[in-house]
Amino acid sequence: MTGNGHGTVTGRLTRGRLWALVLAVVLLCGGATAYTLRAADRTALPVETPGGPALTLEGPAGGFLFRDTVTGRVGRHDPGAPGPRAVGGPRCDRFHAAGPTALCLQRRPGVPTRSYAIVLDRRLRELRRIALPGIPNRARVSASGQMLSWTMFATGDSYATSAFSTRTSILDLRTGYLVKNMEQIPLTLHGRRYHAPDVNYWGVTFARDDNRFYATVATKGRTYLVEGDMRRWSARTLRGNVECPSLSPDDTRIAFKKKVSDDPKAPWRLHVLDLRTLREHAVAEERSIDDQAAWTDDRTLAYGHEGSVWTVPADGTGTPRRSVSGATSPAVLR
């Protein structure tokens, strides 16, 4: 096909080298195929067993729901009833639930990849489905179950090609009103109205009145805790270096991840901030946690780390404890 030029190349290609190449190609293709088949086998979902009690959002105190890492579906941890875990509902990549509502963020493979936020009722049946761009990251439901928020990572919509940006949405179930991307909310930074194209919000958490909320805003490489107001649709920064806030059930404290090191291996420590005194303390978890913590009660935090859900006292005492393995995205049972 290339006349002389090609002829001399093949001329230099001894028969032995050609066979070695063919053999290598066969081995590489075989290896790649075998690995892929094994991986497909491993990730194949177990056949569903119909019957058994349907999973609901109600349960005994002390228990919680989570995302089962094996099936990707919703699991229930019930400290009083050991045994095989109950698993149900749709496959999710992030999950949260409160009151009568659950929120499931789901990514569907394909070209292009599609993601959905799925609102579920107390029996984990689908109520509403919203198509989303990006990769699911944080999900949160207010205590009443009426206010929902989620954060997606969007790649490529920033000018530095490999940088990520976030898109945070808020859905009010009472009115059905959806804020697709909250980055247009009027923001007051250090007491002044702030305008910049690079603001990114993530990790919303709602107060009990379903109006006040807290979130992280990042701009110019710094992160801040913002307090927002749904009715007035405005936000103001409270302090710096707060990511993924999570409001305690009594609305007095915020658990958050604080950046404590530039070492990419361990950038964060879980902290708790008292909103009245604005004093913060670290909790006993010394590893770097990259999650939006959940309060199982007014004294305890739950969070995902390396495929398990852990709990630790919120006041800085005690030690972290592994509650459920093979689980992420903890949410308290009502």
Partner 1 sequence: MYLATTGRPDAPPPRTGARRRVGGTVLALGTVSLVTDISSEMVTAVLPLYLVLGLGLSPLQFGFLDGLFNGATALVRLLGGHAADRGGRHKRVAGIGYALSACSRLGLLLAGGATGWIAAALAGDRLGKGIRTAPRDALITLSSPPEDLGRAFGVHRAMDTTGALLGPLAAFALLWATADAYDAVFVVSFCVGVLGVLLLAVLVPGGAAGAATVRGAAGREPRPRTATLLAPLRSAPYRRILGATALLGAVTVGDAFVYLLLQRRLDLAVTWFPFLPLGAAAGYLLLAVPAGRLADRIGRRRPFLYGHGAILLAYALLLSPGPDLLVLGVVLGLLGVFYAATDGVLMALTGPLLPAGRRASGLALVQTVQALARLLAATGFGAAWTVWGPSTALVLAAAGLSAALGGARFLLPEDPPVEGHPSTERHSS
Contact 127, 148 (CB under 8 A): no
Which of 174, 190, 265, 276 binds partner 1 (CB under 8 A)? It is 265
Establish if 42 lies at the interface with partner 1 (CB under 8 A).
Answer: yes
> How many C-beta atoms lie closer than 10 Å to residue 146's C-beta?
18
Q: Which stretch binds partner 1 (CB under 8 A): 118-126, 132-140, 232-240, 319-327?
A: 132-140
What is the DSSP annotation of 266-310? Answer: S-EEEEEEETTTTEEEE-S--S---S--EEEETTEEEEEETTEEE
Question: With respect to partner 1, which residue has the nearer C-beta, 138 or 253?
Answer: 138
C-alpha–C-alpha distance, residues 77 and 100, integer Å: 18
Selected from 229, 286, 298, 306, the binder of partner 1 by CB under 8 A is: 306
Sheet containing 86-88: give its strands across.
Answer: 86-88, 74-77, 64-68, 327-332
DSSP character at residue 162? T
What does 3-53 look like in DSSP terms, one character per residue? HHHHHHHHHHS-HHHHHHHHHHHHHHHHHHHHHHHHHHHHHSPPPP---SP
Rule CB under 8 A: say whether 43 interacts with partner 1.
Answer: yes
Instruction: Identify residues 145-204 at the interface with partner 1 (CB under 8 A).
Output: 153-164, 166-167, 196-198
Cis peptide before 112 (omega within 30 of 0): yes
Which of 107/236 has CB closer to partner 1? 107
**Strand order, beta sheet including 253-259:** 243-247, 253-259, 268-274, 279-282
As a dihedral over the C-alpha atoms of residue 32, residue 45, residue 115, residue 235, rounded to 10 degrees, the angle is -120
Query: Residue 144 CB, nearest distance to partner 1 (Å)?
Result: 28
Write down the least CB distance from residue 109 to partner 1, Å.
Answer: 4
Q: Any contact of residue 246 with partner 1 (CB under 8 A)? A: no
Question: Does residue 99 bind partner 1 (CB under 8 A)?
Answer: no
Half-sphere exposure of 186 (CA within 13 A, CB side): 9
According to the binding rule CB under 8 A, does residue 218 interact with partner 1? yes
Q: Is 7 in the site for partner 1 (CB under 8 A)?
A: yes
Site residue total, partner 1 (CB under 8 A): 70
Nearest approach in angstroms of CB 145 to partner 1 is 25
45 in contact with partner 1 (CB under 8 A): yes
Question: Judged by CB, which is closer to partner 1: 216, or 311?
Answer: 216
Q: Is 285 in the site for partner 1 (CB under 8 A)?
A: no
Shortest distance (Å) from residue 275 CB to partner 1: 24
What six digits make up the tokens of 234? 């405005």
Question: Of residues 46, 47, 80, 111, which one binds partner 1 by CB under 8 A?
Answer: 111
Q: Does 15 bind partner 1 (CB under 8 A)?
A: no
For position 47 contacting partner 1 by CB under 8 A, the verdict is: no
Among 46, 51, 53, 109, binds partner 1 (CB under 8 A): 109
Q: Which residues pair with 107 in a beta bridge?
A: 115
Segment near partner 1 (CB under 8 A); pick from 121-129, 228-236, 264-272, 313-321: 264-272
Query: CA 194 from chain center: how many Å?
Result: 28
Which one, 136 or 145, has the nearer CB to partner 1?
Answer: 136
Q: Which two tokens stand for residue 149?
A: 């928020």
Pair of tokens at residue 280: 């913060």
Residues that bind partner 1 (CB under 8 A): 2-10, 12-13, 17-18, 20-21, 24-25, 28-29, 31-32, 35-36, 39-40, 42-45, 93, 107, 109-114, 133-137, 153-164, 166-167, 196-198, 218, 243, 263-265, 267, 290-291, 304, 306, 328
